[in-house]
Structure 1
Amino acid sequence: MQRWIQRARSGGEALQALVDGLAEELGRSVVLDDPLVRMICTSRHFGDEDRVRVRALLQGVADDETIRYVLSQGVAQWTRPGVLPGREDLGLQPRYCVPIRERGHMLGILVVVAAGEPLTQAETAAIDRAASAVAVEMYAERLASDGDEEHTRRLVSRLVGPDSAQRCAAHRRLVDDGLLPAGPHVVVTSVAVSGQRGPSGQVAVALRGALEPFRQTRTARGLPAVDQDRAALVQVFEREPAEEGLEQQCRAIVRSLTTFLGPGPAVVVGVGGRRTALADAWISYEQARVAARAARRLPRLEGVGDWERLGEYAVFLQLPDSALNDSLLPKPLRRLLAGGGNSRLEETLRCFLENAGSVPRTAEVLEVHRTSLYYRLRQIQEVTGLDLDNGAHRLVLHTGLRLWDLLQAPPEGPA
């Protein structure tokens, strides 16, 4: 075994050689995963393949359900080797898993299919030796990639930051170094995670994993910048992206983070306005942060906000959190909402205003007779003291209801 460890070359070839050598010695399938259970390299089969392994090889990644199961067993937090129980319903045979750690960093998981005969003491000793060699290689790669990632993070942070001189310098560097093109269509996405109580750094690892697929797509080049519990993704598209495509991308990010982190943390994603030059990415970024605030405060957005769809909420959310409180609500509306006993009148008022004051359309949507609707509208006017035939009065109530929506879900964590 020592001979093939010494023959292993640097980089990815070295890791592949280590995995292949261990598999040949054991006569078992071996996989090296990253901390998010995504395959880095794998050996050939030894007749012990299961459905999970076959699907992972065909797809290049394990199914979300399998990843969730593995992470739910705490494998990424293990400090010593252990056996991951099989799951017949997933088509998963037991695995012997060795966490690859070096100097406090969780680098990956060395996985040996443990179906059939139990591992002998000599086999586990061989796995330990291989794991030590893998840790050396992965730590060297980690040091190099950390330097590159920090350099990229600083450039992106300056590109979208408040200092115009730093923005110009970062823009020039990103374009000159070929990291991003100058245009023609630029969008920045903001991602934030709150409520995570796992190990320090776990959120950052998950954010990197969720955003990695968007560095290069069929229509765009992207550059993510991750900072603890939040991230920004700058993308330059060849053609103007459709709203539906951006929403699908955001939903994919949310699904990935939910898979990697479990159901506990709250994930919000905000998409900024579409710009025509990389130099204006900072504008899209500020808008993306506003959209993320909307995603946190408005449950109907289901965690994803888009600046282009916010409407009047984009104006309200320019206010700091400290200013978004009940004092902004117009007194007439507060009287209607007081005590929560007028929910039917609130629903009627919302529907009436959303339908531009049209009695026929409002009655149809609410499925009530027009006589009943007129009665409710008179009640609303009596409680609020406002005239629903007056455009300015309707604007006061409509604006108030929008603000009321934002106040129902106070923000938590980073925006």
Structure 2
Amino acid sequence: MHLADPGGSAAVPAVSLRRVADELGVTAQDLVLAEGGADVTGVVIAEPGDDLGDAAGALVLAVGARGADAVAVVAAAAKAGASAVAVRLDAGTASATAPLRAATDGTGTGLLALSAAVRWDQVQAAVRGLLAGARAAGPYRGGGGDLYSLAQTVATLTHGLVSIEDGAHQVMAYAGPADEADELRRRSILGRACPEEYLTLLRQWGVHRRIRAGDEVVEVAARPDRGVRRRLVIGIRAGSRPLGSIWVQEGAAPLADNTERALRGAARLAASQLVDHYYEGDAAARRLSRSDLAHGLLTGRFDAAALALHLGIPPSTAAAVVAVDLREDPAAGETAWQEARRAEAAEIIAVHAAAYRRHTLVAQACGQIYAMLPEPGPQPAGEEAGEAALVRWSADLVARLRRHTGTPVQAVLAGTAARLDDIPAVKLRGHHALQIMARTPDRAVHTHRGLTASLMVRDLLGLLAGHEEIRHPALTELTERDAAHGTRLADSLLHYLDAFGDVPKVAKALNVHPNTLRYRVRKAVALTGLDLDDPEHRLAAMLQLRLHRDGRDDPRALDR
């Protein structure tokens, strides 16, 4: 499950299910049903089998659910107190909603049934837009969906219950299982502010003084006599000005080892949103703008100097680029669900990156996620510099993403752009390097420099594929002969050359007797007239045979 927007509260802006349907602008045949339910205050993305926890106020998007699975998600959402559930129907008829209606009967949960032509991102965008408009028009300011998304990400990373407060100790966003909340958290969420008697204790213990003074993560011990569990807290600051705080309550399980680092990263990301809150700006709009800037910088469609001004750093700042691929199975589910999971992973990467360096940017492109990390000035005490430190950081990131997504995530350190406007070229290097890494799924992290030889061969094969006139006729005849007779002379010769003539190693790999391999190589040499003592003959054979093996002389197949 991924919490994309805030859950319910009387003070939070809300919209009706019918208003959401109207905002979608779908045709009559695409809107099958929109009825019942309380007003919607946010969006939850769920798939079959997810534990929804407390989904009060949410519109649950039943992504990837059809038939009995859809009924199960609807029933689970109703049990979790969701305001409504959105489903997609293969058969766009009212009769197809009968089992879904039965699952919500008497629960107070509404139902939004749409045809398969309506995309999930349309539904999510419609709700976000309506809530943003309601927020701007009403007295409630600042509790934006992006803070809720950040709180959910921190909860995921830390295994705790998270709340984000402003400088007046008002609760701006929260996330985590409701059944693990202690008495203090329940009272804070219900009252949308920390209770005054507990604030007095925090002042006496010096907690507020410490979090206002710097980037320290402060531990607040459990107080069983007051029904209070252990917490960690960090201040949110803009320069020297304190803006608020992020709290993580320990739930049923101990907090994760990386909790302090996750809090530091989240505090840096939350700062700009709380600045908007104090100046009555639109945090969602600011976040979208930053996302657009990051994507534009990554793809070369945005002026790097303007972005540098936005970040408060010189345009000449160098920036490391780390490319990440979740390695999702395209056949594993709907594209919309994969996009939602990729967005959630990007949020985790953003927190991880912000904890490592300031002014980091994260953007998605080409189905991959890119972290852009401007080089620091004078290195803070205790922080490592250089490629080795970035590789270790990337390895830790990949390990966490693999555990979270369950996919064989891979990352490559694409290199360092000498200036911000050099980032698109470095991004392209990372994209190509990830293509090479796909051949070795067990490898978690690599560097572009470490893949230089493979990338050089890849590019050379690409050039050869575009010039069919550059071929060794005898090698072409050899591969055609194998295809006609079902033999493996060309493949055996290529393995032999790749292994530098190590017959036992190649024979084992091909599962043949060493004498069989020697026979195949001798016959291939006899048929082609190659002289394997000549380095140019060996190089020509390796290139053409690899081109045939990898792409069958089809340049479009080289990236597969």
1:99-138 per-position Cα deviation (integer Å, ceiling 9, x unaligned): 589xxxxxxxxxxxxxxxx9775x617999xxxx999546
Task: Please list the CA deviations of residues 49-70 of structure 1 after superposition, one character each: whole Å capped at 9, or x if unmatched.
Answer: x99467x99xxxxxxxxx9x96
Letter in 1 for 2:108: T
The one-letter code matched in structure 2 to 1:152 is R
SS of 2:351's equivalent?
coil
Native 8 Å contact 1:188 1:272 kept in 2? yes
Of residues 111, 116, 124, the one that matches 2:108 is 124
Q: What is the CA–CA distance in structure 1 between the aligned matches of 2:83 and 2:291, rounded to whole Å?
A: 31
- Structure 2 matches for 1:85-100, cutoff 5 A? 85=75, 97-99=82-84
1:112 corresponding residue in structure 2: none
| Aligned length in residues | 332
In structure 2, C-alpha distance between the alignment counterparts of 1:388 and 1:293, rounded to whole Å? 31
Using a 3 Å threshold, how does the CA distance of structure 1 residues 247 and 364 change in structure 2: closer, same or farther? same
Match among 386, 392, 398 for residue 530 of structure 2: 386
Change (3 A) 1:360 1:147: same
| 2-structure distance, mates of 1:146, 1:320 | 46
Q: Which of the numbers 286, 308, 333 marks the counterpart of 1:148?
A: 286
Which residue in 1 is equivalent to 2:124? none
Shift of 1:379: 1.1
Out of 160, 175, 196, the position equivalent to 2:298 is: 160
1:371, distance to aligned residue in structure 2 (A): 4.0
Choose from 528, 540, 549 the match for 1:396.
Answer: 540
Counterpart of 1:352?
496
Higher RCO (C-alpha 8 Å, min separation 6):
1
Confirm or deny: 8 A CA contact 2:478 2:527 kept in the other structure.
yes
Post-superposition Cα deviations, 1:198-228, rounded to whole Å, max 9, x if no partner, equal 9997665443222110112254564222469
Q: Distance in 2 between matches of 1:363 and 1:323?
A: 29
1:375 aligns with 2:512: no
Query: Does residue 166 of structure 2 align to residue 176 of structure 1?
Result: no
Equivalence map 1:224-373=2 (5 Å): 224-226=362-364, 231-235=369-373, 239=385, 240=387, 241=389, 243=391, 246=394, 249=397, 271-275=412-416, 279=420, 280-294=422-436, 301=441, 307-318=448-459, 324=465, 327=468, 330-338=472-480, 339-340=482-483, 341=485, 344-359=488-503, 361-363=505-507, 370-373=514-517
Over the aligned positions, Cα root-mean-square deviation in angstroms equals: 5.8
- TM-superposed CA distance for 1:142, in Å, is 5.8
Cα deviation 1:261-285 (Å, max 9, x = unaligned): xxxxxx9977352227563533320
Alpha-carbon spacing, 1:309–1:231, altered in 2? closer, same or farther (3 Å): same
Could you tell me whether the CA contact under 8 Å between 1:204 and 1:226 is conserved in 2?
A: no
The one-letter code matched in structure 2 to 1:344 is R
Shift of 1:404: 3.4
TM-score after normalising by structure 1: 0.56
Residue type matched to 1:334 in 2? T
The whole-number CA distance in structure 1 between the counterparts of 2:444 and 2:66 is 28
Shift of 1:170: 3.0
Residues 190 and 285 in structure 1, CA contact (< 8 A), matched pair in contact too: no
Say which of 313, 321, 331 aligns to 1:187: 321
Deviation, 1:389, is 1.8
Give percent identity, aligned residues only.
Answer: 17
Match of residue 230 from structure 2:
none
Give, in angstroms, the shift of residue 354 of structure 1: 2.3
Separation in 1 of the partners of 2:499 and 2:404?
A: 38
Task: State which of 351, 366, 374 in structure 2 corresponds to 1:216.
Answer: 351
**Which runs of 5 or more structure 2 residues have no equivalent in the other structure?**
13-39, 87-102, 113-126, 136-143, 147-281, 376-383
C-alpha deviation, 1:378, in angstroms = 1.0
Distance 1:228 1:366 in 2: 36
Deviation at 1:251, TM superposition (A): 7.8
> How far does the alpha carbon of each residue in 1:345-400 deviate from its partner, in whole angstroms, 9 at most, with x for none?
23422332222234455456556555443322211212332112211111112222
Distance (Å, rounded) in 2 between the aligned partners of 1:304 and 1:397 = 32
Higher mean alpha-carbon deviation, 194-203 vs 327-336, is at 194-203
Q: Matches of 1:150 and 1:404 in 2, distance apart? A: 46
What secondary structure does 2:108 align onto?
helix
| Partners of 2:414 and 2:430 within 8 A in 1 | yes
Q: Distance in 1 between matches of 2:145 and 2:372?
A: 23
**1:36 match:** 45
- Local SS of the residue matching 1:271: strand
- Structure 1 residues 372 and 320, CA gap change in structure 2 (3 angstroms): closer
Report the Cα distance in structure 1 between the residues aligned to 2:364 and 2:398, rounded to whole angstroms: 16
Name the CA distance, whole Å, in 1 between partners of 2:365 and 2:496: 45
Q: C-alpha distance in 1, partners of 2:110/2:78?
A: 21
Q: Cα gap change, 1:363/1:274 in structure 2, threshold over 3 Å: closer, same or farther?
A: same
